[in-house]
Structure 1
Amino acid sequence: MAMKMNAIIWPEDYTPGFTDNYCSNEVIVAGLSAADVWPLLSTPSHWPTYYANSANIRFHDGKGPELQNGARFYFETFGFPVESQCTEFVAPANGEPGRVAWHGWAGEGDTRLDVIHAWLVEDLDGGRVRILTQESQKGKPAVDLRNAKPNPMINGHQDWLDGLVAAARSRKQG
């Protein structure tokens, strides 16, 4: 029996292959569900507890602590001070995947970096969960990140995924 998996929904200006950099990381693990993972991902204040490359998270305009469509927030990652706005937020429910994405930006002129960072969290058969994170980037810093070896975005996002899974497992057992 074939199984269809869902995909990230990209704004036209950030379609992978037409931007300066793109990275994709994914894990599929047994023993967890989207409901186990979602609270740790959808609430940015949890990120530094399992992902060392995130810091100083704060919301603007009295929003938070959970992401929501249109919410503005700030965090620091990969050495960038990132202003962000949530562009998609759909919690997992009734067999449908959770989706969260934000537009992030830092710098000006030649140092300007613009990204869409998107996540998909979906339950699969057999008590498994799939966590997919992808980022599409524009700007000179994106070109520099693309050309760096080893790729800091692939490695950093894998750390984020691994930390998210470990934190969800720990919470479920505790």
Structure 2
Amino acid sequence: MTDIQWPEGFVPGFTDNFCSNEVIATGLSVEDIWPLLSIPANWPTYYKNSANTRFYDNKGPQLALGDRFYFETFGFPVESEVVEYVAPVNGQPARLAWHGWSGEGEQRLDVHHAWIVEELPANRVRILTQETQNGNPAKELAKTLPNPMINGHQEWLDGLLAAAKSQ
């Protein structure tokens, strides 16, 4: 349960770009983190690189398997569909993943963005986020130094922890 489940075409090492970020913090629980992560309207409150979140088909405000939603990040308008959703229960890791896409033709970007949030011994919580990307924009991002995806996702994790601690 604590590994990302990669769909075909999005396995790290076989994509145009990959990033992985992880934090382990004390004094927080999965229940502290999950509402901040699973409700996209919360993202802009703690992550400046996220904007204009909205659901389609009268869904929301919390993500659910199969939900379609939209947000803007890294300068891209991203259409998304939740492809994995396992809410926290009985000490089991919570899991969230979406397929996101932006652009058309040579500028099309396809991503698989996945999250695991789990309790660890000694009052700790682990948050892992990984993303694979395909397309010409992903190839350009992969060559950019410092890597904007790794830095941006670290800001997302840091903001998520700060927001959880401030509640």
TM over 0.5: yes
Of the candidates 8, 13, 32, which is equivalent to residue 17 of structure 1?
A: 13
How far does the alpha carbon of each residue in 1:6-42 deviate from its partner, in whole angstroms, 9 at most, with x for none?
A: 1111112111100000000000001001111000000
TM-score of the aligned structures, taking structure 1 as reference length: 0.95
CA distance in 1, matches of 2:9, 2:147: 23
1:59-82 deviations in Å (ceiling 9; x for gaps): 000000000000000000000000
AA matched with 1:152: P
Q: Percent identity?
A: 68
Match of 2:108 among 109, 112, 115: 112
Cα drift, residue 132 of structure 1: 0.2
User: What whole-Å deviation, never above 9, does each CA across 1:76-95 have from its counterpart, x for those lacking one?
Assistant: 00000000000011011112
Structure-2 residue corresponding to 1:34:
30
- Consecutive unaligned residues of structure 2, counting only runs of 5 or more, are none
**Which residue number in structure 2 is paired with residue 126 of structure 1?**
122
Give the total of aligned pairs. 167
Residue 54 of structure 1 is matched in structure 2 by 50
Structure 1 residue aligned with 2:91, among 87, 90, 95?
95
Q: Distance in 1 between matches of 2:53 and 2:2?
A: 29
Structure 1 unpaired stretches of 5+: none
Alignment-mate amino acid for residue 147 of structure 1: K
1:67 corresponds to which of 63, 77, 80? 63
TM-score normalised to the size of structure 2?
0.99
Computed over aligned residues only, the root mean square deviation of the Cα atoms, in angstroms, reads: 0.8
The list of structure 1 runs, each at least 4 consecutive aligned residues, that deviate by more than 6 angstroms after superposition, is: none
Aligned: 1:139 with 2:131: no
